[in-house]
Structure 1
Amino acid sequence: MSDLPDSADVIVVGTGAAGMCAAIRLHKLGLAPILIEKTAFFGGSTAVSGGAVWIPDNPHSEEVGRPDTREAARTYLEGEIGNRMNGPLVDAFLDTGPDVVRFLEAETAVKFAARALGPDYHSDRPGASLGGRVMDPLDYDARELGAALPRLRHPIPEFTILGGMMVGRADLGLLPKMHRSGKAFAHALRVVLRHGSDLLRFRRGTRSVLGNALAARLGKTVHDLGIPIYYDTALVRLKQDDGRVTGVTVRHAGAELSIAARHGVILASGGFPQNDTMRADVMAHASRGPHYSMSPEDNTGDSQRAATLLGASQGGNNLHPAFWTPVSRLKRADGTTVPFPHLFLDRAKPGLIAVTDRGGRFVNESASYHDFVAGMLEAMEGGAREFRLICDHRFIRRYGLGAVRPFPGRLKPFIDSGYVIRAATIAELARKTNLPAQALADTLARYNADAARGTDSAFGKGGTDYNRYLGDPENQPNPCLRPIEQGPFYALSIYPGDIGTSIGLETDATARVLGADGTPIGNLYAAGNDMNSIMAGSYPGPGITLGPALTFGYIAANAIAEAAKSTP
């Protein structure tokens, strides 16, 4: 006997931010939704993300001294997205996003804080903001989940320390200073003692931060409201009758079973970043060489595949098919190799450059992770095949490099494993990495001369507010530039990667999935990365996936509830 129900008012596929927000809103509007989850854990991509939520003119922006307007945000998005912009969807997001924040904070366990300083990624564009638009979920005591705690998806292990202790934004500013600051030491002692207690009692950390905190807060409300989550339940196909979706077929406990949906199905299962075939169809470089995704391994496009079998239209005009990040490859203690994303902790800091296998730079290293990989792909079109980050000893001990932690973190294990290559001189580093020695020496000479002056004449590293925000404010005159000159020297190989796909199902402004002729497929909705990104493959700022995910999950719920009023 299966524990699955025969029917539900609404079936929500996926338990990330979009799916859980939709389910909560549906419940609050008087409907009885269920959530089906392919894995044994709730949280999806949200739980392993940075947790940033980008919603312009949100209720907290003015609190941090960054008053915003809808008009300024739209101007910024027009410049970012260009002629790919779907005006009605962007308008729906801008109009509804602030209401979603108010709803979540009034009706759920979700609480946000806006960043007083958190620039949009292209901070020099008209309409860009230097802060306030991006919010972070407040840290959460996941012990409040009670019996549901074991079901919360774990963070990526490499983003934790001491056997699973999550590290939040405040920790990043304090933990590296614990050996030279009393305040930092006290903070470190407090969180480490808490983590030790957690390991003894729960065998995992329970101080949830970043995206894990957002997932935990949404999950707390889902469980408190009694909204069922059916785990280990994968979508196989959608059921349709007379042009309307009437339910789903799922695989559960080794069998295919059907669940009827009285009022609709919402697809919110995280896109297709881990589907090699679908990925190769839209990422030319992935069919020629390495590409790695940071998304959960079960995000294989089940929803998009099921919807396209019913004639659903999939986005095909995006500037980029995914949200890019450069990654390095790290060998774990068990022998497996996993990607590690280089999001913002190392590339923008002073004393690092990125080079191709020809020994020359190719990009502004302090650009956003998305723009950095766009630079990699452009270089690949020009013949580049390999990429490395280069730094000196002062840099790696002060800032770390990828998975290498700053001092007092250990460096030797990463050298022994081959994760980083160390050499006494630049010439020796070139030999060990098969880089052309003269080209690398010339590149460093040009960079070092620029760094000493504080201006990067080649790529403009440190040239915008966003660049400088990620640099080291103690380093002057440019927080992103310093000569690379104190040996030994280090090299780390990096590859194109992603944090999720941007191509998804085409929808209208009420999140209804559209067929090839542009008309809605009855009772079928999409949100999150199953929905074609309203950013159309551009990446305007931190949190531009989670902001729209929450908003269109909420919009889909509203649309279903409104339609249900006229359904017998």
Structure 2
Amino acid sequence: MTQENWDAEYDVVVIGAGAGGMAAALTAKIEGLSVLLVEKTDRVGGSTAVSGGAVWAPLNAQSEKVGHPDSFEKVWTYMRNTVGDAAPAALQEAYLREGAGMVDYFEKHTAVRLVARSYSPDYYPDREGAAMGGRSLDPAMFDGRELGAKFKELRDPLPEFMVLGGMMITMTDARHLLAVTKSFKSWREGMKLVLRYFGDRLRGYHRGTRVVLGNALAARLFKSVLDHRIDYWLGTPLQKLERVDGAVTGVAVTRQGRTQRVKARRGVVVATGGFPWGEALRSEQYPQPSGPWSMSPQDNRGEGITLAREAGAVLGQGHTNPAFWAPVSVLQRPDGSVTRYPHLVWDRAKPGLMAVNGAARRFVNESTSYHEFVRAMYHSHQTVPTMPAYLICDHDFMEKWGMGLALPGGRPREHLVKAGYLSKAPTLRALGQALGLDGAALEATAARFNTLAEQGRDDDFGKGSTAYNRYLGDADHQPNPCLGPLRKAPFYAVKVVAGDIGTAVGIACNAQAQALDDAGRPIRGLYMAGNDMHSVMGGEYPAPGITLGPALTFGWIAGRHLAQQAAAHDQ
């Protein structure tokens, strides 16, 4: 094959501009390789840009500084007690041993800045090896003005992560904004946010430039791509992985309306975001019922995985779940558009909310992780209809916390009632009937729930029984920050379905992020990262940040390994 057969030539081609793809591209470029970053959509950031942004990187240098000294033995014990044999032990060990180095590397060479949480329990804090903080890190706030005109090329966050039409907020920001009339500190912090935001809009920005959460991580990675002068093509979908003698030697993409073939002298990294919107792979891998309920970008349809399989790679096995689950509520708007809201960390753990199935009975610890909540939905659905399930609260809860898209503090909600998203009734019995449930059974369930709330201990499902539960509850509510009664009319309900925040099934890889064939041999020139790589967690969800942590780590590993390889095909 001669050079004239190629439209362009690089050492490395990376497909997908999310965390995994940008990590691989940056590492390869920093290590001296020429790199092309290819993105299907017209925006950079992928799933990372719409995520919460947490990065689980145990043993990072900040852990001890924030009061949580750690050890490999401790975190390895926790992995065995949560992930177990759901993922290859060699991959788990590689992740734990390399993650801290990844954090240091990007701190040194890029604009990525991650800050360890001083208190953030792992999701199963009662299992041996769990930590109460230090392992999960958040991206530092980023000033979008540093991107200049390129700010418009960064994927916008979910509208549900913004207020006032474009101002990003964290959980801490939300608490301040809800308390602006009750605390001078909250008023001051709230005014800073609002004044900064309106200043941005007056200067012509399409949204606020104070960037937080996963959008900040995507922005910092993108800033680093620009700083290191990495070539990138937007609006360029992958069509084919080119091969010679079984090795991947380049790609065919569609750019500006025509096919272009790009040679990759060292290899290709595929990081297209998994298949949460790919109907064929979903029907092959997901339990039923399922639906179009993912919170991932709708462009994540599994092309990377499909083309890797055509190139000889195989899917990983042994996982316990095909996706990382989250309960999602769905609003059908009058114009036909659909808004999905992920019930992750804000409402379910607060005192005064309970969840029921189709028999109007509780079926889960409402304050458990979003992944475990949906697992409980599927388990309950085996005997009682639990798709959808229902989140139930009273007037006081709604005014203080809100529920899903229904906002607190007296904000308008009737449009949500008219749209069928929010149910509202003067009594619990009437609410149950409006939902098509047994109203008397719902009353009885609430009466039992209130009794448990009065004693401050949930003997039925353990709401508020772990440090993780209580971390997300209301610290001012005692004795159990997660458990409170439903008493004051009107009463409200929101339906939730079994959504996800991304897929866990992907291409089987070794510890160098190389794709494997059906004999377990690495395919020369083909690497996977992000959700295209089979989850090192095996579909389990031990802690916040267990998708972005591996995405960054194995993207970094792939970039380093590529730099160490001799060119596979220099013909």
TM-score, length of structure 2 as denominator length: 0.96
Q: Which residue of 2 aligns with 1:77?
A: 79
In the aligned structure 2, how far is the partner of 1:281 from the partner of 1:407?
44
Equivalent residue pairs, number: 563
Q: Secondary structure at the match of 1:233?
A: coil
Q: Which residue of 1 aligns with 2:544?
A: 542
Residue-by-residue CA offset, 1:36-83 (whole Å, 9 max, x unaligned):
000000000000000000010111111211111111111100111122
In the aligned structure 1, how far is the partner of 2:29 from the partner of 2:143?
24
In the aligned structure 2, how far is the partner of 1:244 from the partner of 1:10?
14
Offset at 1:332? 4.5
Out of 553, 556, 565, which is 2:555 matched to? 553
Offset at 1:474? 0.8
Out of 203, 206, 209, which is 2:206 matched to? 203
Identity between Structure 1 and Structure 2 (%): 46
> 5+ residue gaps in structure 2?
1-5
- Whether 2:259 is the aligned partner of 1:256: answer yes
Aligned partner letter, 1:56: P
Aligned partner letter, 1:531: M
Aligned partner letter, 2:29: H
Offset at 1:409? 3.2
Offset at 1:328? 0.4
Check 1:180–1:231 CA distance in 2 against 1; reply closer, same or farther (3 A cut): same
Offset at 1:367? 0.4
Is contact 2:326–2:370 with CA below 8 Å preserved after alignment?
Answer: yes
Q: Which residue of 2 aligns with 1:214?
A: 217
In the aligned structure 1, how far is the partner of 2:85 from the partner of 2:164?
48
- What are the residue-to-residue correspondences of 1:220-369 with 2, within 5 Å? 220-285=223-288, 288-332=289-333, 334-369=335-370
Deviates more, 1:66-75 or 1:539-548: 66-75
Q: Secondary structure at the match of 1:444?
A: helix
Aligned partner letter, 1:66: H
- What are the residue-to-residue correspondences of 1:424-463 with 2, within 5 Å? 424-463=426-465
Is contact 2:274–2:531 with CA below 8 Å preserved after alignment?
Answer: yes
Q: Which residue of 2 aligns with 1:474?
A: 476
When the two chains are superposed, the root-mean-square deviation of aligned CA atoms in Å is: 1.4
> 5+ residue gaps in structure 1?
none
Is contact 2:7–2:260 with CA below 8 Å preserved after alignment?
Answer: no
Offset at 1:522? 0.5
Aligned partner letter, 2:528: A
Offset at 1:289? 4.9
Deviates more, 1:427-436 or 1:496-505: 427-436
Deviates more, 1:477-486 or 1:412-421: 412-421
In the aligned structure 1, how far is the partner of 2:17 from the partner of 2:490?
47
In the aligned structure 1, how far is the partner of 2:158 from the partner of 2:335?
15
Check 1:487–1:106 CA distance in 2 against 1; reply closer, same or farther (3 A cut): same
Q: Secondary structure at the match of 1:564?
A: coil
Residue-by-residue CA offset, 1:281-320 (whole Å, 9 max, x unaligned):
11121xx453510001100001100010122110232100
Offset at 1:440? 1.1
Out of 8, 24, 45, which is 1:43 matched to? 45
In the aligned structure 2, how far is the partner of 1:373 from the partner of 1:30?
45
Is contact 2:87–2:535 with CA below 8 Å preserved after alignment?
Answer: no
Check 1:313–1:224 CA distance in 2 against 1; reply closer, same or farther (3 A cut): same
Q: Which residue of 1 aligns with 2:144?
A: 142
Deviates more, 1:245-254 or 1:10-19: 245-254
Q: Which residue of 2 aligns with 1:562?
A: 564
Q: Which residue of 2 aligns with 1:375?
A: 376
Offset at 1:254? 2.4
Residue-by-residue CA offset, 1:407-443 (whole Å, 9 max, x unaligned):
1533333233332111111111112111112211221
Is contact 1:175–1:185 with CA below 8 Å preserved after alignment?
Answer: yes
Residue-by-residue CA offset, 1:140-180 (whole Å, 9 max, x unaligned):
00110112111000011122111111112331231111121
In the aligned structure 1, how far is the partner of 2:185 from the partner of 2:97?
42
Q: Which residue of 2 aligns with 1:185?
A: 187
Is contact 1:39–1:232 with CA below 8 Å preserved after alignment?
Answer: yes
Residue-by-residue CA offset, 1:466-507 (whole Å, 9 max, x unaligned):
011111011111001011111111111110100000000000
Aligned partner letter, 1:63: K
Offset at 1:334? 4.4
Is contact 1:353–1:390 with CA below 8 Å preserved after alignment?
Answer: yes
In the aligned structure 1, how far is the partner of 2:532 from the partner of 2:298?
15
Out of 400, 404, 407, which is 2:402 matched to? 400
Q: Which residue of 2 aligns with 1:386?
A: 388
Is contact 1:291–1:496 with CA below 8 Å preserved after alignment?
Answer: no
Out of 111, 120, 123, which is 2:122 matched to? 120
Is contact 2:85–2:318 with CA below 8 Å preserved after alignment?
Answer: no
Check 1:536–1:221 CA distance in 2 against 1; reply closer, same or farther (3 A cut): same
Aligned partner letter, 2:314: S
Check 1:501–1:462 CA distance in 2 against 1; reply closer, same or farther (3 A cut): same
